Amino acid sequence: MSKKVLSFLLATAMTASLLAGCAGAAPVATAEAPAAEETQEDAAPAEETAEEPAAEAEATGVKVGVAMPTKDLQRWNQDGSNMQEKLEAAGFEVDLQYASNSVETQVSQIENMINGGCSVLVIASIDGESLGTVLETAKAAGIPVIAYDRLIMQTDAVSYYATFDNYMVGTKQGQYIIDTLDLDNAEGPFTMEVTAGDPGDNNAQFFYNGAMDLLKPYIEAGKIEIKSGQQEFKDVATASWATETAQSRMENILSTYYADGTNLDIALCSNDSTALGVENALAANYTGEYPIVTGQDCDIANVKNMIDGKQSMSIFKDTRTLAEQVVKMVTQILNGEEVEVNDTETYDNGTGVIPSYLCEPVFADINNYKELLIDSGYYTEADLQ
């Protein structure tokens, strides 16, 4: 056995000892570690192991719990499958659970992960403020928690946060509107309606703030008008990011404020599920010139609408990138290494700032969606037919 492999096994054996309180975790496998069969076949002679004792446990089999909110939105299916694929490729056992947007179900699933021997938990929460009690159990068991995409609030049991730059998502949506309408030079006024996300999702406020911070000067100058008067987050939020809720609200706005032939120029939607609801409402209740419609996640239905001219853009957050980063963070945690983060100031969950890694989002529109989504292998041409 090479000294490189022996060094790896010694280091991971020490990590396993330190994490014994975490449901008896075995050392984590890395790209440099041999498979279990190779380790056994290449066993070192006794005289060599006397100087560098071999690890007592296999370099595979560490269980990671991955809790996703729901299968009802395409993006969470992609997040979950990408995470499972990359974790398993790194040698982990994965307990992946979807909670059907039920907080009680998600709590129960996390409890089962803790009791089932998971050494790290990766959690995309349904309600960021509803997991405090169950995560206290994880903390007591010494199990690190990575909040995935959505920050978990009001608990000091969260070790790290991995997400895309959520404020930047909003600024890219806002800047797209500014650039497309040339707001700095156009006379206006332009009409706009805002559809934001779930108030229980901490990210929704970041998306909203990012866009509105850029657009408020134009609103205050009268270049953008919101006919409904619904501008504050509490008035434009969409529970559970539900398409049907966004559609019903937009139908009411259109019938009340735009039935007289007034054009709607901008539909600022925080994500694709709300954008889809707005687009359904436009199809059923609007006869004016088609507005700019923003979105986020590049869901298949929305990319098809983009191709058909029914949606202007969508923020692309390549979940493969985020999954890769989370796998790296899990490996670093279990190896006792310094965990890579790039933000230690922004995300305070009410108990302190959570060390975070922020991936950068980009936007897709009719001009670049093929390069971003098809050429990269995220979708195939057939997916978008």
Q: State the pLDDT at residue 45.
A: 35
CB atoms within 10 A of CB 367: 8
Question: Is the model's pLDDT at 175 over the cut of 80?
Answer: yes
Say which DSSP state 15 is in: H
Contact 168, 145 (CB under 8 A): no
Tokens linked to 56: 């007592």
Specify the range with the lowest mean pLDDT, choosing from 26-35, 63-72, 76-85.
26-35
Question: Is the model's pLDDT at 18 over the cut of 50?
Answer: no
Q: State the pLDDT at residue 7.
A: 39
Give the domains, in start order, of the chain with CATH numbers. Answer: 3-158+318-359 (3.40.50.2300), 166-317+379-384 (3.40.50.2300)
Average pLDDT, the chain: 87
Of the candidates 116, 89, 19, the residue with the CA atom closest to the CA atom of residue 334: 19
* Rounded average pLDDT over 297-313: 97
Render pLDDT for 350-360 as a digit per residue (tens, 0 to 9): 999 999 999 99
Q: State the pLDDT at residue 285.
A: 87
Tokens linked to 141: 């068991």
What is the C-alpha end-to-end distance of the chain, expressed in Å? 52
Render pLDDT for 246-292 as a digit per residue (tens, 0 to 9): 999 999 999 999 999 999 999 999 999 999 999 999 999 899 999 99
Q: State the pLDDT at residue 300.
A: 96
Render pLDDT for 113-171 as a digit per residue (tens, 0 to 9): 999 999 999 999 999 899 999 999 999 999 999 999 999 999 999 999 999 999 999 99
| H or E stretch at 193 | strand 190-195
Q: How far apart are CA 118 and CA 333, in angstroms?
A: 13
* Rounded average pLDDT over 224-246: 97
Say which DSSP state 237 is in: -
Of the candidates 120, 74, 84, 126, the residue with the CA atom closest to the CA atom of residue 102: 126
Neighbouring residues of 145: CB distance < 8 A, sequence distance ≥ 6 = 120, 121, 122, 123, 135, 138, 139, 152, 157, 158, 159, 160
Q: State the pLDDT at residue 41.
A: 33
Say which DSSP state 313 is in: E
